[in-house]
Chain A
Amino acid sequence: MTTLPPVEDIKAQIEAAVPGCRITVIPNGSPSGQHSLLLDNDHARAAALFLRDHPSLRLDYCSLVTGVDWLDTETTEKVKVKKLVDGPEGSQQEQEVEETRKTKVPGHLESVYHLFSMEKKHGPVVLRLRTANRTDQTHLPSLTPVWRSAEFQEREAFDLYGIVFDGHPDLRRILMWDGFVDFPMRKDYVPPADDPLVEVQP
């Protein structure tokens, strides 16, 4: 098994081959060392084609496509701010005070691709695509034209998370029935109460 170059090198190669592509390396906190590359949605397909066809990488096998739901979160940070504070004897002084600021980080939906190479027998390279938010901007480019193995898995991400893949040849629900309207794998999904409470009489 040949070894892959480190993630930063792959990022540099893609940025050289696909001009305008903005890539971020997302480090992985676990001992597995599988860091991922966050691609921007406009150049994702070109970057994917480069990864598949470049002679030294030849990532011809897309093993797994996963949908992930990240809810809206709030970050709190303590900021030092200069404020007028009541001092002794009724005067006012400028003092540095610590203030906690809460910022809302909007959630997003994510599509994670694990790529391997059957020819070179190396991998995985992990790609991530993120939507802008969880409500109205949930479109991502489909990588099914690049790797056919993404066909059913992107349909599943659409079915269970609501990510709409543009360019997918046949985007419909795959596991739930066609009339179903919810996206069950989202973190805020509440199942219907079809289970009446049952009490055991003595």
Chain B
Amino acid sequence: MSTYMAEIDPIAGPGEIMEVSMGPHHPSTHGVFRMDVRLDGEKVVRLKPVFGYLHRNHEKIAEHGAWLAAIPYTDRLDYLCSMTNNWGYVLAVEKLAGIQVPERAEYIRIIVAELTRFQNHAGLVGFLLQDMGASGTPLMYAFREREKVLDLFESLSGARMMCNYMRFGGLRVDCTPAWLDEVRHLVSRLPRFIDEFENLLRANEILMARTQGTGVLPRDLAINAGVTGPMLRASGVNYDIRKVDKYGIYDRFNFRVPLGDHGDVYDRYMMRILEMRESVKILEQALRDIPAGPIIDPKVRLRGLRPKAGEAYGRIESPKGELGFYLISNGTGDPYRYRVRPPSMINLTILEDMCLGQNIADVVIILGSVDIVLGEVDR
């Protein structure tokens, strides 16, 4: 046990506080994450997250390889959403080197990013409901749709999960009209799936009793703690980087940003459902308007990219929050400093604040609603 636990004054008398280490191996399916919890009976008195069990030295490895060689490693950051990770990195490099992206590539980027957002939110709802006790069935529904999206990614980029698809200034390979027809076919059936998935458990007594009022995150704390993504919007803060930065061509699309009132687990759960619907809207518009054209500027040097010395911070709205890449170049072919802004890790800053005073059983669902992926937390 590390020394910090000995410093706080126990609320109850000595011998009445129980220390539990939840993890790094535990049934809740969020990866190798550990929480050192101090309990007074069933109530949480102190909770310290401990991670680093998946620290794979992504930032150090990227410093030794070329700029292009870091793209497959970004796939493995948030391993459920490889397309949006790729986009975050290539956006930062395009800012650093001043590279333009052709229009067709922007449309395809938005299509794959919104498909990624859809399957991530579906998976998250499935995992959250499984943590609450609906063991298996909602996850089966979510993974059924996820498999359809992964089939599309496989036929487009060659891999189900680690797509390695985006390049500086565009994409690796163009999509065919047949692929676009498949996406249209899938998107036409998605609203019915979202309705079915939502009605599965939305008005369920156990769900509502367990999640409403649990794990409340106040608005000011959320802003100060740097929380981003659906977790921030569930607390009522209107900050979606697609609307703020308008990166890509998101300003051409008509979609709303759902906001929550209470900032509890139920709001975060509903946030994902509502964002799935908005993603479907964006997909329909993108599939309708996608033009023909090139997908990358042929004059861009991918392999021997040597951006001028300088730095850039590029960020996107990934399904987990603000995914940013801070890159410092010293004029050579390798990054001098390559830093990832991990939304999952920063969203964990206030995990303790949300869990204090809650039951130990609710800690699992509060953690589930934060939506962490350890590949991103630890890098």
User: A-side interface residues toward B, CB under 8 Å?
Assistant: 1, 28-32, 34, 36, 60-64, 66, 68, 112, 114, 118, 121, 124, 126, 147-153, 170, 172-178, 184-185
Specify which chain A residues have a CB less than 8 angstroms from the CB of B133 in the assembled complex. none
- A175 near B311 with CB under 8 A, answer no
Chain B's closest residue to A144 (CB) is B349
- B310 near A118 with CB under 8 A, answer no
- B322 near A1 with CB under 8 A, answer no
Q: How far is the CA of A101 from the CA of B166 in the complex (A)?
A: 47
Specify which chain A residues have a CB less than 8 angstroms from the CB of B98 in the assembled complex. 30-32
Q: How far is the CA of A32 from the CA of B307 in the complex (A)?
A: 11
The 8 A-B residue pairs whose C-beta atoms are closest, nearest first, are: A149-B226, A30-B310, A31-B98, A29-B310, A32-B312, A175-B52, A148-B225, A32-B95
Query: Which of B35-43, B184-192, B194-202, B339-347 contacts its partner?
Result: B339-347
Given contacts A28-B311, A66-B339, contact A148 B52 (CB under 8 A): no
Specify which chain A residues have a CB less than 8 angstroms from the CB of B96 in the assembled complex. 30-32
Complex A-B: 15 CB contacts under 8 Å:
A1-B245, A28-B310, A29-B309, A29-B310, A30-B96, A31-B96, A61-B223, A64-B326, A112-B326, A121-B244, A149-B225, A151-B349, A152-B345, A170-B4, A174-B52
Given contacts A30-B95, A152-B349, contact A64 B313 (CB under 8 A): yes
B224: contacting residue among A29, A36, A147, CB under 8 A: A147
Q: How far is the CA of A68 from the CA of B246 in the complex (A)?
A: 29
13 extra interface residue pairs, beta carbon distance < 8 Å, beyond A29-B309, A151-B225: A1-B245, A30-B311, A61-B239, A63-B226, A64-B313, A118-B237, A121-B239, A147-B226, A148-B224, A170-B4, A176-B52, A176-B55, A184-B57
Interface of B is mostly: mixed
Q: What is the distance, in angstroms, from B88's C-beta to the closest C-beta of chain A?
A: 12
- B326 near A118 with CB under 8 A, answer no
B329: contacting residue among A30, A62, A124, CB under 8 A: A30
- A31 near B244 with CB under 8 A, answer no
In the complex, how many residue pairs between chain A and chain B have their CB atoms under 8 Å apart?
A: 112
Q: What is the distance, in angstroms, from B197's C-beta to the closest C-beta of chain A?
A: 31
- A30 near B226 with CB under 8 A, answer no
Specify which chain A residues have a CB less than 8 angstroms from the CB of B308 in the assembled complex. 29-30
Q: How far is the CA of A173 from the CA of B48 in the complex (A)?
A: 13
Chain A's closest residue to B313 (CB) is A114
Chain A's closest residue to B92 (CB) is A32
Given contacts A118-B223, A148-B226, A152-B346, contact A34 B55 (CB under 8 A): no
Specify which chain B residues have a CB less than 8 angstroms from the CB of A64 in the assembled complex. 313, 324, 326, 339, 341
Q: How far is the CA of A34 from the CA of B98 in the complex (A)?
A: 13
B328 at the interface (CB under 8 A from A): yes
- B349 near A148 with CB under 8 A, answer yes
Q: How far is the CA of A148 from the CA of B227 in the complex (A)?
A: 10
Residues of B309-326 whose CB lies within 8 A of A: 309-315, 322, 324, 326
Q: How far is the CA of A63 from the CA of B342 in the complex (A)?
A: 10
Q: What is the distance, in angstroms, from A171's C-beta to the closest C-beta of chain B?
A: 10
Residue with the highest number of chain A CB atoms closer than 10 Å, among B97, B98, B310, B329? B310
Residues of B1-39 whose CB lies within 8 A of A: 2, 4
B256 at the interface (CB under 8 A from A): no
B348 at the interface (CB under 8 A from A): yes
B350 at the interface (CB under 8 A from A): yes
Chain A's closest residue to B99 (CB) is A31
Chain B's closest residue to A29 (CB) is B310
- B57 near A61 with CB under 8 A, answer no
Chain B's closest residue to A177 (CB) is B52
Given contacts A30-B312, A32-B312, A61-B226, contact A152 B52 (CB under 8 A): no
Specify which chain B residues have a CB less than 8 angstroms from the CB of A68 in the assembled complex. 328, 337
A114: contacting residue among B60, B228, B326, CB under 8 A: B326
Q: What is the distance, in angstroms, from B266's C-beta to the closest C-beta of chain A?
A: 23
Q: What is the distance, in angstroms, from A133's C-beta to the closest C-beta of chain B?
A: 19
- A63 near B337 with CB under 8 A, answer no
Q: What is the distance, in angstroms, from A75's C-beta to the closest C-beta of chain B?
A: 15
Q: What is the distance, in angstroms, from A194's C-beta to the closest C-beta of chain B?
A: 14
- B52 near A124 with CB under 8 A, answer no
Q: What is the distance, in angstroms, from B250's C-beta to the closest C-beta of chain A?
A: 13
- B348 near A32 with CB under 8 A, answer no
Q: What is the distance, in angstroms, from A160's C-beta to the closest C-beta of chain B?
A: 8
B378 at the interface (CB under 8 A from A): yes
Given contacts A63-B324, A68-B328, A175-B51, contact A184 B310 (CB under 8 A): no
Specify which chain B residues have a CB less than 8 angstroms from the CB of A170 in the assembled complex. 4
Specify which chain A residues have a CB less than 8 angstroms from the CB of B348 in the assembled complex. 152
Q: How far is the CA of A34 from the CA of B350 in the complex (A)?
A: 29
- Chain B 274-313 near chain A by CB (<8 Å), digits 1 or 0: 0000000000000000000000000000000001111111
B361 at the interface (CB under 8 A from A): no
B55: contacting residue among A112, A153, A175, CB under 8 A: A175
Given contacts A114-B326, A147-B226, A149-B226, contact A31 B349 (CB under 8 A): no
